[in-house]
Amino acid sequence: MASMIGLFSSIGEHVPIFRNEKITEPTAEGFINRCHYRGTAILILGCCLLVTCTEWISGTGSIIDCMHGGSVPDPVMNMFCYIQGTFSVPKHWRDHDTQLGTDVAHTGVGSYNPKLDFIEVKAYYQWVPFVLFLQGIMFYVPHIIYKKLEGYKVKNIIGSLNMYVLNKENRGNQINDLASYFLKTRGIHDNWALGLIFGHFLYLSNVVFQIFFTDMFLGYEFSTYGVNAASFVGQQPEDRIDPMSKVFPRVTKCTLQKYGSSGSIQLHDSMCVLPINIINEKIYVFLWFWFVILAFMTAIDLIHHMGLLGVPGVRSTILRRKFRTAPIFKTLQLDIDMKLILRNLSYGDWKLLFHILRNMDSITAAEFMQALTLQLKDELDSKLHEAETLPLNTFKYNGDKEALKEA
């Protein structure tokens, strides 16, 4: 146990999501994305650590303990059954006609005919730590791809304005520089915005894939696992049929074949206790509900971001919501023309503006919008003045009618 904790603690020092500066840095990713690459990845890696620390569950260093009355030493039997895999007999699963203590000793454990009776091998408990570790990594992969698509643009252009700058002069200079850059680069962010939408789609695709992958890993029992477990809680104690005991049986069977002293094959049938499945069943019940909730929230978040690009009417609503509770709006009258700003932005420009404002506090965001309004008005006034003062083309008629037509 100490070695596993030491391994994870040493790894954690080099993982970016555990660093304090990563919590406050400006980014284009929102709360839902953080639930993937921070919340879910850390959660699954924690579950991986939990299932490798068998001392917390069984009190011993072994995750399997097989009972038999033969001449095979216990360590040999335990090691064989762990490597070979244990099995359950479906005809002995508990149901309304099969009662524990009367018909069978444990769910799925009882006499069987190897040639006639169907058995289900339950060996995936060997792979649970590895699969959990792989899934934890896979929940972090979309974040890496998203950062490549985003190119750290929001972090690089916003500078230190994600934190409130007390010096008003310094804050004003940074705001004016950011507004000037934003106006000069209008129209070049459309492909960047589409890349972010693709990044959000990767998050949704990954969590949906994890649901199907876990279902396949657990013998296609995961799809209804959470619903069955929830229905089990609402049943009367005397009528309860634990569905988790079928997916993660706590007691299973194992058969060891070896040669006897005369050279004939001897069968050693044992009943194995798997204390590790006590924690495995709880982990996957929680993951079932979490994956479903996360997939639903990610789908809503993807629709939200697509709406930001495709529905112009949403933009003014978001801006008003941002500044509705701003303290500076209650004390100062700021010159902010939201309609003017929105009329002069493409969907890529608006996407960048949305992420800039989202990473600012309300006061800095209001001052940035005011600087953006003033610079945009100056730009439009300058273009209008140039159009009004353009010199008129003059032409002197020298009697050439063809030249007159061309003029």
DSSP of 189-216, one letter per residue? -HHHHHHHHHHHHHHHHHHHHHHHHHHH
Low-confidence ranges of the chain (pLDDT < 70): 1-23, 54-62, 69-70, 92-105, 113-116, 166, 232-243, 261, 325-333, 385-407
Cα 68 to Cα 155: distance, rounded to the nearest angstrom: 64
Q: Is residue 238 in a domain?
A: yes
Cα atoms in the Cβ-side hemisphere of radius 13 Å centred on 384: 6
Q: Is residue 21 in a domain?
A: no
Cα 173 to Cα 159: distance, rounded to the nearest angstrom: 12
**Cα maximum dimension of the chain:** 130
pLDDT at 57: 58
Cα 352 to Cα 182: distance, rounded to the nearest angstrom: 9
Q: Is residue 384 in a domain?
A: no
Q: Is residue 405 in a domain?
A: no
Per the DSSP assignment, residues forming a β-bridge with 109 are 106
Per the DSSP assignment, residues forming a β-bridge with 66 are 272
Cα 387 to Cα 381: distance, rounded to the nearest angstrom: 10
Domain count, the chain: 1
Residue 142: give the domain boundaries.
28-308
Q: Is residue 341 in a domain?
A: no
Q: Is residue 370 in a domain?
A: no
pLDDT at 229: 78
Q: Is residue 396 in a domain?
A: no
Q: Residue 93, by phi and psi: left (phi above 0), alpha (psi -120 to 50) or beta?
A: beta
pLDDT tens digits, 105-161: 677 777 776 666 777 777 777 888 899 999 999 999 999 999 999 998 988 888 877
Count other C-beta atoms under 10 Å from residue 261's C-beta: 7
Q: Is residue 397 in a domain?
A: no
